[in-house]
Amino acid sequence: VLVDKGEHKHFMHKEIHEQPASLARVFGSLIDLQKGRLSGDLDKVDFSGVRRVVLVACGTAYYAASVAKYWFEEFADLPVELDVASEFRYRSTPLRDDDMAIFVSQSGETADTLAAVRHVKGRVRAVLAVVNVPTSSIAREADHVLEILAGPEIGVASTKAYVGQLALLAALALKAGKDNGLVGTDAETSLAVAMAALPRLVSETLSLEPMVQQVAATMVSARDTLFLGRGVLAPLAFEAALKLKEISYIHAEGYAAGELKHGPIALIDEHVPVIVFASSGPLFEKTISNVQEVIARGARVTLITDPQGAVLAKGIGDHMLIVPAVREELAPFVHSIVAQLLAYHVAVLKGTDVDQPRNLAKSVTVE
């Protein structure tokens, strides 16, 4: 297939804007919208009797898997063994026949992830491949293939594939909860309906682009940046930092907000922009107290929150970006759009090669 940029300046920009459509496609393959129930591709996976989930990936796919850890715990009460493939494959992790092993890879060709698949094959209940390329090596070696249906992703920095991975993994965690009896019909329907609304909410989030661009302009000359989040938004902060460093070459660290005082706070001064992802919910006040700590050290803070969080935050920080209200567990879907737009616009303003950043490859097929 020949893919072009259309009206967009970069593939990355095009792919960011394709997400309402790509997300609708993947949720359409996982959810029966009429009935508000899981369906389709997930029927082939059975978590009954599974005692643990093993989640392995590299790069951005690893950060998608890191969000999924929270979902498997929350929806299915399952312990999760989570690691990057280059570590996991060499560890002597005990493996059991009641483990479900899930490998996440956009390309399905990442060498370490493929080696990790081979490492567990035959030693666990089943090997699931969450991929964008169903003909890939990882897909061929897995027991079951789950497609994120993102369409070809050309930009080296993953955007729509990451969000597609989140969609697949959220629905998969819900399926796990259903299979082990923790999620009843009402809970299934309420989450399935909330997931089905995400393409529209992502589309609304994209309309924040002009405001994100203004924040980006304040970050172009930064040397170091810090991204913070808690709960399900902690791994989102890691991904946001990865995205920025990959394409703008600005040093970015992602941290769980509660870990701030165990290190990164030593680096904070007025030259370090701090980007905070926070949903209104039980953890909101804790995150705001972290925000106050960095503000006291002169940091310029951008808070990304929902309408209720905006009210509670009472104008704290230098910039606020208000994403649509969404169930707390699903907040990464809307926050990730802001993270992508922010990285993209900082890179464009810096004039770096957005689609082909130096030293990086779309798919790492060497070890």
Instruction: Report which of 5, 1, 3 is spatially closest to residue 354, judged by C-alpha positions.
Output: 5
Write the secondary structure of the chain as one string of H (helix), E (strand) and C (coil).
CCCCCCCCCCHHHHHHHCHHHHHHHHHHHHEECCCCEECHHHHHCCCCCCCEEEEEECHHHHHHHHHHHHHHHHHHCCCEEEEEHHHHCCCCCCCCCCEEEEEEECCCCCHHHHHHHHHHCCCCCEEEEEECCCCCHHHHHCCEEEECCCCCCCCCCCCHHHHHHHHHHHHHHHHHHHHCCCCCHHHHHHHHHHHHCHHHHHHHHHCCHHHHHHHHHCCCCCCEEEEEECHHHHHHHHHHHHHHHHHHCCEEEEEEHHHHHHCHHHHCCCCCEEEEECCCCCCHHHHHHHHHHHHHCCCEEEEEECHHHHHHHCCCCCEEEECCCCCHHHHHHHHHHHHHHHHHHHHHHHCCCCCCCCCCCCCCCCC
Closest distance to ligand G6P from the beta carbon of 40 (Å): 23
Place of tokens 């995150």: 287
Q: Which residues are identified as catalytic?
A: 362
Nearest-angstrom CA–CA distance, 218 and 178: 46
Contacts of 87 by beta carbon, 8 Å cutoff, 6+ apart: none
Min CB(293)–ligand G6P separation in Å: 32
By beta-carbon proximity to ligand G6P, the closer residue of 243 and 335 is 243
Q: Pick between residue 109 and residue 209 the one whose CB is nearest to ligand G6P.
A: 109
Residue 232 interacting with ligand G6P (CB under 6 A): no
User: 106 or 302: whose CB is closer to ligand G6P?
Assistant: 106
Q: Binding to ligand G6P by residue 248, rule CB under 6 A?
A: no
Beta bridge mates, 254: 227
Q: CB 156 → ligand G6P: shortest distance, Å?
A: 5
**Nearest residue (CB) to ligand G6P, 66 versus 110:** 110
Select from 102-110, 257-265, 286-294, 330-338 the region that touches ligand G6P (CB under 6 A): 102-110
- By CB under 6 A, is residue 106 in contact with ligand G6P? yes
Smallest distance from the beta carbon of 41 to ligand G6P, in angstroms?
19
Nearer Cβ to ligand G6P (150/216): 150
Residue 115 within binding range of ligand G6P, rule CB under 6 A = no
Site for ligand G6P in 156-195 (CB under 6 A): 156-158
Is residue 261 within 8 A of residue 230, CB to CB? The reply is no
Q: Which residue is listed with tokens 């493939």?
A: 85
315 sits in the region (left: phi over 0; alpha: psi -120 to 50; else beta) called left
Q: Does 364 bind ligand G6P (CB under 6 A)?
A: yes
Stretch that binds ligand G6P, among 2-10, 187-195, 198-206, 358-366 (CB under 6 A): 358-366
When asked if residue 113 is in the footprint of ligand G6P (CB under 6 A), the reply is: yes
* Residue of 20, 36, 59, 273 that binds ligand G6P (CB under 6 A): 59
Residues 60-99 that bind ligand G6P (CB under 6 A): 60-61
Q: To the nearest whole angstrom, how small is the minimum distance from the Cβ of residue 357 to ligand G6P?
A: 8
- Binding ligand G6P (rule: CB under 6 A), the pick from 66, 110, 305, 336 is 110
Nearer to ligand G6P, 193 or 360 (CB): 360
User: How many positions of this chain bind ligand G6P (CB under 6 A)?
Assistant: 16
x/- mask, ligand G6P, residues 10-49, rule CB under 6 A, reads ----------------------------------------
Q: Which is nearer to ligand G6P, 158 or 302 (CB)?
A: 158
Least distance (Å) between residue 132 CB and ligand G6P: 8
Give the shortest CB-259-to-ligand G6P separation in angstroms: 23
Q: Which residues bind ligand G6P (CB under 6 A)?
A: 58-61, 105-107, 110, 113, 156-158, 360, 362-364
